[in-house]
Amino acid sequence: MAIRAVLFDWDGTIVRDAAANPESGADFFAPSLAVANYAEKHMGATFGAEDFERAFQAALPVYVAGETATSPAIGSLMASAFAWLGVNAAPRDIEACSRVFYNSGARGLEVYEDARILLPSLKARGYRTAVVTNSPFTNDFVFRKAKSLGVAQYFDAIISGADVGLAKPHPGIFQSALAAIQVDPHEALFVGDSLKTDIVGAKAAGMRAVLIERSLRSHHASGYLVIERLGALDELLGES
Protein backbone atom coordinates (compact mmCIF):
# COMPACT_ATOMS: atom_id res chain seq x y z
CA MET A 1 0.00 0.00 0.00
CA ALA A 2 1.38 3.41 -0.99
CA ILE A 3 2.16 5.98 1.68
CA ARG A 4 -0.48 8.71 1.80
CA ALA A 5 0.63 10.56 4.92
CA VAL A 6 3.79 11.57 6.74
CA LEU A 7 3.59 12.36 10.43
CA PHE A 8 6.32 14.03 12.44
CA ASP A 9 7.57 14.53 15.93
CA TRP A 10 8.02 18.25 16.70
CA ASP A 11 11.06 19.03 18.88
CA GLY A 12 14.26 17.65 17.41
CA THR A 13 12.58 16.68 14.15
CA ILE A 14 10.85 19.77 12.73
CA VAL A 15 12.28 22.39 15.09
CA ARG A 16 15.34 22.78 17.25
CA ASP A 17 15.86 25.01 20.25
CA ALA A 18 18.70 27.33 19.33
CA ALA A 19 18.59 28.80 22.84
CA ALA A 20 19.38 25.36 24.29
CA ASN A 21 22.96 25.78 23.10
CA PRO A 22 25.00 26.80 26.17
CA GLU A 23 26.86 29.30 23.99
CA SER A 24 23.60 31.16 23.32
CA GLY A 25 23.61 32.60 26.83
CA ALA A 26 19.90 31.80 27.22
CA ASP A 27 18.47 31.98 30.73
CA PHE A 28 17.21 28.59 31.94
CA PHE A 29 14.79 30.36 34.27
CA ALA A 30 13.31 32.64 31.58
CA PRO A 31 9.88 30.87 31.43
CA SER A 32 9.58 30.89 35.22
CA LEU A 33 10.69 34.52 35.31
CA ALA A 34 7.96 35.39 32.81
CA VAL A 35 5.39 33.80 35.13
CA ALA A 36 6.84 35.57 38.17
CA ASN A 37 6.66 38.92 36.38
CA TYR A 38 3.05 38.30 35.37
CA ALA A 39 2.10 37.27 38.90
CA GLU A 40 3.63 40.37 40.43
CA LYS A 41 2.00 42.69 37.91
CA HIS A 42 -1.47 41.13 37.62
CA MET A 43 -1.97 38.93 40.69
CA GLY A 44 -0.26 40.83 43.48
CA ALA A 45 1.93 37.79 44.20
CA THR A 46 5.66 38.09 44.69
CA PHE A 47 8.06 35.18 44.24
CA GLY A 48 11.28 34.59 42.36
CA ALA A 49 11.86 32.70 39.15
CA GLU A 50 13.76 30.00 41.02
CA ASP A 51 10.86 29.64 43.45
CA PHE A 52 8.41 29.08 40.63
CA GLU A 53 10.78 26.70 38.86
CA ARG A 54 10.97 24.56 42.01
CA ALA A 55 7.18 24.62 42.32
CA PHE A 56 6.71 23.68 38.68
CA GLN A 57 9.21 20.83 38.88
CA ALA A 58 7.42 19.57 42.00
CA ALA A 59 4.15 19.53 40.03
CA LEU A 60 5.60 17.51 37.14
CA PRO A 61 4.89 13.78 37.32
CA VAL A 62 7.79 11.38 36.94
CA TYR A 63 8.56 10.81 33.27
CA VAL A 64 10.55 7.90 31.85
CA ALA A 65 11.02 7.92 28.07
CA GLY A 66 9.50 4.83 26.53
CA GLU A 67 7.61 3.90 29.70
CA THR A 68 5.41 6.85 30.69
CA ALA A 69 2.20 6.60 28.69
CA THR A 70 0.19 9.52 30.08
CA SER A 71 0.62 13.24 29.61
CA PRO A 72 -0.18 16.10 32.00
CA ALA A 73 -1.75 19.35 30.81
CA ILE A 74 -0.13 22.71 31.39
CA GLY A 75 -3.20 24.14 33.11
CA SER A 76 -3.16 21.55 35.88
CA LEU A 77 0.62 21.84 36.23
CA MET A 78 0.38 25.61 36.53
CA ALA A 79 -2.42 25.39 39.10
CA SER A 80 -0.42 22.88 41.16
CA ALA A 81 2.66 25.08 41.05
CA PHE A 82 0.72 28.09 42.32
CA ALA A 83 -0.86 25.97 45.05
CA TRP A 84 2.63 24.77 46.04
CA LEU A 85 3.61 28.43 46.41
CA GLY A 86 0.44 29.22 48.37
CA VAL A 87 -0.84 31.55 45.66
CA ASN A 88 -4.53 31.69 44.76
CA ALA A 89 -4.73 31.79 40.96
CA ALA A 90 -7.94 32.42 39.01
CA PRO A 91 -8.57 30.42 35.81
CA ARG A 92 -7.77 33.46 33.67
CA ASP A 93 -4.42 33.80 35.44
CA ILE A 94 -3.67 30.11 34.93
CA GLU A 95 -4.35 30.51 31.23
CA ALA A 96 -2.31 33.69 30.93
CA CYS A 97 0.64 32.26 32.85
CA SER A 98 0.56 29.11 30.74
CA ARG A 99 0.81 31.31 27.69
CA VAL A 100 3.71 33.45 28.90
CA PHE A 101 5.52 30.33 30.16
CA TYR A 102 5.23 28.65 26.75
CA ASN A 103 6.07 31.76 24.73
CA SER A 104 9.19 32.40 26.75
CA GLY A 105 10.34 28.79 26.57
CA ALA A 106 9.66 28.51 22.85
CA ARG A 107 11.32 31.79 21.92
CA GLY A 108 14.48 30.06 20.71
CA LEU A 109 12.76 27.52 18.46
CA GLU A 110 13.72 27.54 14.81
CA VAL A 111 12.75 25.28 11.91
CA TYR A 112 15.40 22.94 10.57
CA GLU A 113 16.26 23.93 7.02
CA ASP A 114 15.55 20.44 5.67
CA ALA A 115 12.09 20.60 7.24
CA ARG A 116 11.44 24.00 5.69
CA ILE A 117 12.25 22.52 2.29
CA LEU A 118 10.41 19.20 2.69
CA LEU A 119 7.10 20.33 4.18
CA PRO A 120 5.83 22.47 1.27
CA SER A 121 7.01 19.78 -1.12
CA LEU A 122 4.96 17.12 0.67
CA LYS A 123 1.94 19.38 0.68
CA ALA A 124 2.26 20.15 -3.02
CA ARG A 125 2.42 16.41 -3.80
CA GLY A 126 -0.79 15.73 -1.93
CA TYR A 127 0.51 13.99 1.19
CA ARG A 128 -1.43 14.37 4.42
CA THR A 129 0.77 15.62 7.23
CA ALA A 130 0.57 15.91 11.01
CA VAL A 131 2.61 16.59 14.12
CA VAL A 132 2.48 14.28 17.14
CA THR A 133 4.28 15.68 20.17
CA ASN A 134 4.72 14.72 23.81
CA SER A 135 3.89 18.14 25.20
CA PRO A 136 1.87 19.36 28.19
CA PHE A 137 0.81 22.26 25.97
CA THR A 138 -2.32 21.72 23.87
CA ASN A 139 -2.22 21.91 20.09
CA ASP A 140 -3.25 25.57 19.98
CA PHE A 141 0.05 26.53 21.65
CA VAL A 142 2.05 24.51 19.13
CA PHE A 143 -0.07 25.74 16.21
CA ARG A 144 0.53 29.38 17.09
CA LYS A 145 4.25 28.76 17.29
CA ALA A 146 4.22 26.84 14.02
CA LYS A 147 2.34 29.76 12.46
CA SER A 148 4.89 32.28 13.70
CA LEU A 149 7.64 30.07 12.25
CA GLY A 150 5.87 29.94 8.89
CA VAL A 151 5.08 26.20 8.77
CA ALA A 152 1.59 25.81 10.28
CA GLN A 153 -0.05 25.77 6.86
CA TYR A 154 1.77 22.57 5.96
CA PHE A 155 0.16 20.47 8.70
CA ASP A 156 -3.33 19.01 8.49
CA ALA A 157 -3.33 18.31 12.24
CA ILE A 158 -1.26 18.88 15.34
CA ILE A 159 -1.82 16.41 18.18
CA SER A 160 -0.26 17.03 21.58
CA GLY A 161 -0.08 14.71 24.56
CA ALA A 162 -2.12 17.28 26.47
CA ASP A 163 -4.92 16.99 23.89
CA VAL A 164 -5.49 13.29 24.50
CA GLY A 165 -3.90 12.70 27.91
CA LEU A 166 -1.50 10.19 26.38
CA ALA A 167 2.22 10.24 25.71
CA LYS A 168 4.30 8.51 23.07
CA PRO A 169 4.95 5.57 22.85
CA HIS A 170 1.29 4.88 23.69
CA PRO A 171 -0.30 3.98 20.33
CA GLY A 172 -3.40 5.97 21.22
CA ILE A 173 -1.76 9.33 20.55
CA PHE A 174 -0.68 8.16 17.09
CA GLN A 175 -4.17 6.78 16.43
CA SER A 176 -5.68 10.16 17.34
CA ALA A 177 -3.47 11.81 14.74
CA LEU A 178 -4.33 9.24 12.08
CA ALA A 179 -8.03 9.72 12.78
CA ALA A 180 -7.65 13.49 12.51
CA ILE A 181 -6.15 13.24 9.02
CA GLN A 182 -8.34 10.27 8.01
CA VAL A 183 -5.51 7.89 7.11
CA ASP A 184 -5.07 4.23 8.01
CA PRO A 185 -1.87 3.18 9.85
CA HIS A 186 -0.50 1.14 6.94
CA GLU A 187 -0.77 4.22 4.72
CA ALA A 188 1.30 6.40 7.05
CA LEU A 189 4.95 7.00 7.82
CA PHE A 190 6.14 8.49 11.11
CA VAL A 191 9.41 10.40 11.51
CA GLY A 192 10.94 11.18 14.89
CA ASP A 193 14.23 11.52 16.74
CA SER A 194 13.54 9.15 19.66
CA LEU A 195 13.75 5.40 19.33
CA LYS A 196 12.00 4.74 22.64
CA THR A 197 9.02 7.04 22.06
CA ASP A 198 8.67 7.80 18.34
CA ILE A 199 9.78 4.60 16.65
CA VAL A 200 8.44 2.12 19.20
CA GLY A 201 5.12 3.96 19.46
CA ALA A 202 4.59 4.43 15.74
CA LYS A 203 5.28 0.76 15.03
CA ALA A 204 2.91 -0.27 17.85
CA ALA A 205 0.25 1.83 16.12
CA GLY A 206 0.83 -0.07 12.85
CA MET A 207 2.80 2.64 11.06
CA ARG A 208 6.09 2.52 9.24
CA ALA A 209 8.74 4.46 11.16
CA VAL A 210 11.87 6.45 10.40
CA LEU A 211 14.38 7.61 12.99
CA ILE A 212 16.20 10.85 12.24
CA GLU A 213 19.70 11.13 13.68
CA ARG A 214 21.29 14.22 12.21
CA SER A 215 24.82 13.17 13.13
CA LEU A 216 24.71 9.83 11.32
CA ARG A 217 24.53 8.64 7.73
CA SER A 218 21.35 6.97 6.55
CA HIS A 219 21.15 3.26 7.23
CA HIS A 220 18.68 0.52 8.02
CA ALA A 221 18.23 -0.75 11.56
CA SER A 222 16.06 -3.57 12.81
CA GLY A 223 12.55 -2.80 11.58
CA TYR A 224 13.07 0.88 10.78
CA LEU A 225 15.17 3.23 8.67
CA VAL A 226 17.61 5.76 10.09
CA ILE A 227 18.20 8.99 8.16
CA GLU A 228 20.47 11.97 8.65
CA ARG A 229 18.34 14.56 6.81
CA LEU A 230 14.61 14.82 6.13
CA GLY A 231 15.33 15.11 2.43
CA ALA A 232 16.15 11.41 2.45
CA LEU A 233 12.42 10.74 2.77
CA ASP A 234 12.00 11.47 -0.93
CA GLU A 235 13.87 8.29 -1.79
CA LEU A 236 11.76 6.30 0.66
CA LEU A 237 8.59 7.75 -0.83
CA GLY A 238 9.82 6.79 -4.31
CA GLU A 239 10.28 10.36 -5.45
CA SER A 240 13.12 12.77 -5.96
* Domain range list for the chain: 5-18+109-236, 27-105
Q: Which pLDDT tens digit goes with each residue over 134-171?
A: 999 999 999 999 999 999 999 999 999 999 999 999 99
Backbone angles phi, psi at 29, to 5 degrees: -90, 10
The helix (H) or strand (E) run that includes residue 151 is none
Q: 13-27, 140-154, 167-181 — which is least confidently predicted? A: 13-27
232-236 mean pLDDT: 87
CA angle 84, 90, 95 (to 5 degrees): 90
Q: Is 138 helix (H, G, I), strand (E, B) or coil?
A: coil
**C-beta of residue 131 within 8 angstroms of C-beta of residue 155:** yes
Q: Does residue 24 carry a pLDDT above 70?
A: no
Beta-bridge mates of residue 16: 110
Task: State the pLDDT at residue 4.
Answer: 95
Dihedral angle over CA of 37, 44, 42, 138, nearest 10: 70
Q: What is the pLDDT of residue 25?
A: 45
Residue 57 half-sphere exposure toward CB, CA atoms < 13 A: 8
Amino acid at 125: R
Mean pLDDT of 210-215: 89
**Fold adopted by 5-18+109-236:** Rossmann fold (3.40.50)
Write down the pLDDT at residue 240.
41
Please name the residue ranges forming H helices in the chain. Answer: 30-38, 49-59, 74-85, 91-105, 113-124, 139-148, 161-164, 171-181, 200-204, 233-236
Decide which of 184 and 19 is more confident. Answer: 184
Looking at per-residue pLDDT, the higher value among 215 and 178 belongs to: 178
pTM score of the predicted model: 0.91
pLDDT at 68 over 70: yes
26-50 pLDDT, tens digit each: 578 899 999 999 999 999 999 999 9
Res. 238 pLDDT band, cuts 50 70 90 = confident
Cα separation, 189 vs 206, whole angstroms: 10
Average pLDDT of span 74-81: 97
**Higher pLDDT, residue 224 or 103:** 103
